[in-house]
């Protein structure tokens, strides 16, 4: 089975898709056989009678992949967490289908980038959470977090859950970091998180110029990832 990472967030809309796509772009430049996956997507749109996820299409564009069915096996129309979305559509999340798609993909790639949905405690079913999927995939975790006020609490909680569940946390990437007009919380929070948790900071990623996932425009994403993220720590053993 291929190596890889599972990208989780401290909350929704923290930039998991951006970071995941950025890693895929860099991996392609390094000539790695890279696979991407968004196991469950909600808030999908309809095209030609089928549901599609903007996030998944963005990841596939970054990686050069084409297999949307395996990259995103579970899709829902409503922009909800998976469990309520599944209840609204009377269609339970099939975790066996997810794991089968992951196994099929990982056989063809040397490194997998799997983007979660929300944080580790997001439920797929009444008794199966994102952290359960991470454990079954046996992948190390990269946490994506904000730098704004509140991130210390959210990030430390995520790290604590990961450790309690026996997950391997490679580190934290703080996204949408304002390099030019840092507030005091942006300047101090990442170091406090790292000092208190013992988990390394893997990057401080600023706002990306020209980025638009819905139109599949990456802007300066690849260049920023190469400059601001410890890529060897992510792609290495």
- Which residues carry out catalysis? 38
**CA count, 13 A, side-chain hemisphere, 204:** 14
| 211 in Cβ contact with 219 (< 8 Å) | yes
Q: Within a 10 A sphere around the Cβ of 138, how many other Cβ atoms?
A: 11
Long-range contacts, 47-52 (Cβ 8 Å, 24+): 51/75, 51/76, 51/77
Q: Report which DSSP code applies to 229.
A: B
Say how far apart CA 187 and CA 199 lie, in whole Å. Answer: 17
Closest alpha carbon to 175 in 204, 199, 202, 201: 204
Q: What is the DSSP string of 90-104?
A: T----HHHHHHHHHH
Paired tokens of 123: 């439920």
Q: Inter-axis angle of helices 16-29 and 221-228, to 10 degrees?
A: 90
* Cα–Cα distance measured from residue 132 to residue 130, given in angstroms and rounded to the nearest whole number: 5
* Neighbour tally for 23: CB within 10 Å: 29
């Amino acid at each position: 089975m291929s190596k890889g990472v599972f990208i989780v967030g401290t909350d929704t809309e923290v930039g998991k898709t951006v970071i995941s796509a950025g890693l895929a772009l860099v991996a392609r430049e390094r000539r790695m056989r890279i696979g991407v996956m968004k196991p469950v997507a909600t808030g999908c749109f309809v095209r030609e009678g089928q549901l599609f996820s903007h996030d998944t299409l963005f990841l596939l564009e970054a990686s050069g992949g084409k297999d949307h069915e395996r990259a995103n096996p579970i899709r829902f129309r409503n922009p909800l967490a998976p469990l309520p979305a599944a209840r609204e559509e009377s269609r339970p999340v099939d975790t066996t289908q997810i794991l089968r798609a992951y196994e099929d993909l990982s056989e063809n790639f040397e490194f997998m980038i799997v983007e979660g949905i929300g944080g580790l405690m997001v439920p797929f079913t009444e008794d199966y959470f994102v952290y359960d999927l991470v454990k079954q995939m046996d992948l190390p975790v990269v946490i994506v977090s904000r730098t704004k006020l509140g991130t210390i609490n959210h990030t430390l909680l995520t790290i604590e859950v990961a450790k309690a569940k026996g997950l391997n946390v490679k580190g934290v990437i703080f996204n949408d970091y304002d390099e030019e007009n840092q507030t005091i919380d942006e300047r101090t929070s990442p170091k406090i998180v790292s000092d208190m948790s013992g988990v390394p900071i893997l990057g401080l990623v600023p706002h990306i110029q020209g980025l638009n996932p819905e139109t599949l425009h990456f802007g300066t994403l690849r260049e920023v990832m190469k400059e601001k993220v410890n890529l060897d720590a992510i792609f290495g053993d």
